[in-house]
A and B are shown apart, each in its own frame.
Chain A
Amino acid sequence: MTIARPAAAAAPDLASLPRLGVGVLYVPSLPAFLRQHVDTLDYMAIVPDRFWADDGPRAGTRFREMDRQVELLDWVAERKPIVGHSVGLSIGSADLFDEEHVRQIARWQARYGFPWHSDHLSFNRLPGLDAHSDLAGLAVPVPYDHDVLEMVAERAQRVREIVPVPFLLENNVYYVDLPDQDMSEPEFLNALSARGGCGLLLDIHNVYANSVNHGFDAREFLRAVDLSRVVELHIAGGSEMGGMYTDSHAGPVAGPVWDLLDEVVAAAPNLCAITFEFEDGYLPALGGDDGVLRELERAREAWNRRPAARG
């Protein structure tokens, strides 16, 4: 008997995805903003894993929803599209691939109609730490090596078989620069999107932070990435820590990120969304709701300058 591969394994047609516009990544300090300003958003991005408590693969009932947050999410979902940006897959973990987690994402994709979903090109879980938890306590980028590429590409294919919408992986911020890697980061991203069939979530602030910390030209980096695979952009701000510039999401978008954003928007034909990220607790540093509105407005200016918008 021949078993046909599920349709989702075919390379996704990124060009047919809905062009959503400008949104924000949900944090717990946002409810009041959302109740008052939801119409300023074209969509809301969420970290689905933050809407449930996960008791781990060995638990009888593994995923228990946090009702209060879900109630607000339902309210937003009645008004705006929702996009999922998970942190729990840990696609780079060498000896773990959590299909249960992917199936939970698939349930939420069906429930909220994510037009695509994403996760990070890193690992943050280490199986065997103890009987209950495998959280590493830190997200660490994968080495850009050929064997890692094969592993992640295969897993990305599997994710695409389970969740029937395009799957994006986000480029990393890294503070430790591993020597002697087989590929540069853009080479790895391009090869991964080609082999794994995934799209890219390009975090421009991560690129900027890496360029500051490791002394390369962010524009050159962006020119080396296949921008036709980019579906969503993340923009954010950062701060100084331990002598390095960190992706702390501490307040407004970093100035140079706006310039990079304008360049990427002009060159990414399948771009569907620009998401502003800020860390919970930094709403006052942003200037409250007005500050969020300012960042969204500036992001919308960039969005409106994309070639398709200009006709």
Chain B
Amino acid sequence: MALADFQRAIVALAASPELCARVRAGDDAEGLRGYTLTERERMRLRDAAGQRGMTVNAMLYRSNRLAPLASQLRYTCFLLGTAMRGLASAYWAQNPVVERNAPTEVRRFAAFVRGRIAAGEVEDPLVGEVLEWEMEGFELALLAPRRTMDALGGAAERARADAPLRTHPLVGVARFSREPGAVLGALAAKRPLPYDDLLEGVFHLVMDARTEPRSLRMVPAATAAAFRALRAGRLLSRLEAEDLVDRGLVIAAE
């Protein structure tokens, strides 16, 4: 057990700067209580806690946890700006163990941010809109266009307004309160909030992953509402169904 406990202890030092500081200060008897260690391992941990490299390990520990989130939710993290540090710490305090399934980790963090937005802790509505936009893109990125199309067979062509439908798996819709092209352009240019100068309104943007690269287009509010309603499992009116079929946003549910 000694080596296993040594390994747990050295990771704990990287994960907890407080523990590292205690051991560095000579309080290893208390700080390393609970670990079964040989005298050599205890000496190594004391030595490690005092090395500059342990600070680097602590930084790597944080950045390793942040990297998958920052790469998948790049614009959301950017918009959160300085708040991101505190938000990440709170998220890790709530979820101390690294999730082994990367998509689950991204979804779990997105749900956490949604909770903070709902609690009024994130003021600018664009943060939530960009989060939903990125999550739509993230889910689409998990699907292989060709394989998905092959698996669907002719379900897209068979879609009829008077028959059961479901949303096309390679299509996503997001809502923006400012002109999306300008918002995405500002984000690409790493322009910080506020975006008050960008055209205000209600915009619904379709992300279509059937093409490579993905295509984007605006749709009317009614179309977006019908798409979301169908995805949520609600029944559509005939007019709504016809609209989605005409726009190629649905497939036959078989």
Interface residues, chain A, CB within 8 Å of chain B?
A: 28, 53-56, 66-68, 70-71, 92-95, 123, 126, 129-130, 132-138, 140, 143, 147-148, 174-180, 213, 241-244, 246, 280-281
Contact = CB atoms under 8 A, between A and B. Distances in A.
B33 interface: no
A91 to B, nearest CB: 12
B52 A136 contact: no
Contacts of B148: 67
B59 A241 contact: yes
A244 B8 CA distance: 24
Contacts of B48: 176, 178
Contacts of A67: 142-144, 147-148
A123 B3 CA distance: 12
Interface stretch (B97-105, B109-117, B122-130, B195-203): B97-105
A53 B105 CA distance: 11
Interface stretch (B9-17, B156-164, B217-225): B9-17
Given A137-B15, A147-B3, A179-B47, A53 B97 contact: no
Taking chain A's interface residues, is the majority helix, strand, or loop, or is none over half, making it mixed? loop
A298 to B, nearest CB: 27
Contact of A177 (B3, B53, B144, B147): B53
B52 A242 contact: yes
Contacts of A174: 53
Interface string B28-68: 00000000000010011001100111111101110011000
Given A126-B8, A140-B11, A135 B53 contact: no
B43, B54, B147 pick with most chain A CB within 10 angstroms:
B147
Contact of A137 (B6, B7, B11): B11
A281 B98 contact: no
Contact of A280 (B6, B71, B101): B71
27 contacts: A53-B101, A66-B103, A68-B143, A93-B7, A94-B6, A95-B4, A126-B8, A129-B97, A133-B98, A133-B99, A134-B100, A135-B99, A136-B11, A137-B14, A140-B11, A140-B57, A148-B3, A174-B53, A175-B57, A177-B53, A178-B47, A179-B43, A180-B44, A242-B56, A243-B55, A246-B56, A281-B71
B63 to A, nearest CB: 9
Given A138-B57, A175-B57, A130 B7 contact: no
B25 interface: no
A213 B51 CA distance: 11
A94 B7 contact: yes
Nearest to A213: B53
Of the listed residues A94, A134, A136, the one surrounded by the most CB atoms of chain B closer than 10 A to its CB is A136
B11 A138 contact: yes
B92 to A, nearest CB: 9
Contacts of B144: 67-68, 70-71
A58 to B, nearest CB: 11
Contacts of B15: 137-138
Contacts of B141: 68
Contacts of B55: 242-243
A71 B147 contact: yes
Interface residues of B, number: 44
B3 A94 contact: yes
A180 B48 CA distance: 12
A132 B100 CA distance: 8
- Which of B61, B97, B99, B141 lies at the interface centre, i.e. has the most chain A CB atoms within 10 A of its CB? B97
A132 B99 CA distance: 8
Query: 9 closest pairs, A vs B, by CB?
Result: A175-B53, A67-B144, A71-B144, A94-B4, A94-B3, A135-B98, A176-B53, A175-B56, A133-B100
Contacts of A92: 7
Given A54-B101, A140-B10, 12 more contacts: A66-B103, A66-B142, A68-B143, A94-B7, A133-B97, A135-B98, A136-B11, A137-B65, A140-B14, A241-B56, A243-B55, A244-B52
Nearest to A247: B60
A54 B100 contact: yes
A134 B4 CA distance: 13
Contacts of B53: 174-177, 213, 244
A121 B60 CA distance: 18
Contacts of A137: 11, 14-15, 61, 64-65, 98
A56 B97 CA distance: 13
A249 B238 CA distance: 55
Given A93-B7, A140-B7, A55 B147 contact: no
A95 B14 CA distance: 20
B60 A68 contact: no
Given A148-B3, A179-B47, A53 B102 contact: yes
A71 B170 CA distance: 15
Name, among B61, B64, B145, the residue most crowded by chain A CB atoms within 10 Å (CB to CB): B64
